[in-house]
Amino acid sequence: MTTPLTLGFSPCPNDTFMFYPLVHGLVDTGGLSYRERLEDVETLNQLALGSELDVSKVSYHALGHIRDDYALLRSGSALGRGCGPLLVSAAEVNPTDLAGKTIAVPGRFTTALLLLRLFDPSLHNFIEMPFHEVMEAVLSGNADAGLIIHESRFTYQGYGLHKLLDLGEWWENETGLPIPLGGIVARRSLGKETVSAVERALGRGVEYARSHPDEAARYICEHAQEMSAEVCAAHINLYVNDFSADLGDEGVQAIRCLMERAEQAGIVPRSEAPLFF
């Protein structure tokens, strides 16, 4: 019996939907087993930065800092169009007028913050907090604006907040490419054979989840207790797509473009390590 690999992913519906078949043994795992750890995406970023997980979901921003130790897998990504982070506020203002203002962000190594810094390098007054606290920080006046991700994209209008900027839309207009938000990485020290086995098993899991969409409903709801079924379904439909099954050439191009821009801006260190194993 092999030692289980530590597997980190978030309790967000798109992750629990995709990983359900893998952690519950519904697909061929190639003889590997997993010990799951569900954490907020920024917590996962920090754990990967400390090399504490064998396999993990991470923000693509964080990937820029861990490429020497972790290889990207071709399955399991959150990458697409019309799904980018939103900048919101309690009043309608021009995002170019936010210089010097406080902006609540969902973590230092989130792709959301990377995109915002690429959009306007002059912005710097960020307050880091868990993603589900960002809207409240804006509503309470503790932040002038907030950077929202995940299900907040579907609920912010109900709180009376105004969209100032869609960073996914900005990225798509700038590059013509889909926006890479988060991906799955595996520790290079596991060796090529194990990493390849993980990648194949994850690919099978994503395909199984997409062809059996109702099987994981209870598991998803257990980890998304404050989310309505409608928001949960919308979340999965938006963030789980063909890129989740396989990045393909366009997905890889989008990731390379993001890494290059982040390197040029001095936000992530340059690396000679290949993106994949």
- Binding site listing for substrate: 57-59, 111-112
Q: Which two tokens stand for residue 233?
A: 């379904």
- Contact between 31 and 4 under an 8 Å Cβ cutoff? The reply is no
* Selected catalytic residue, list 132, 150, 162, 235: 150
- Contact between 276 and 269 under an 8 Å Cβ cutoff? The reply is no
Rounded Cα distance between 162 and 170, Å, is: 17
Among the listed residues 257, 273, 276, the one whose alpha carbon sits nearest the alpha carbon of residue 265: 257
Rounded Cα distance between 70 and 67, Å, is: 5
Task: Confirm whether 162 is a catalytic residue.
Answer: no
Rounded Cα distance between 164 and 56, Å, is: 32
Catalytically active residues are 150
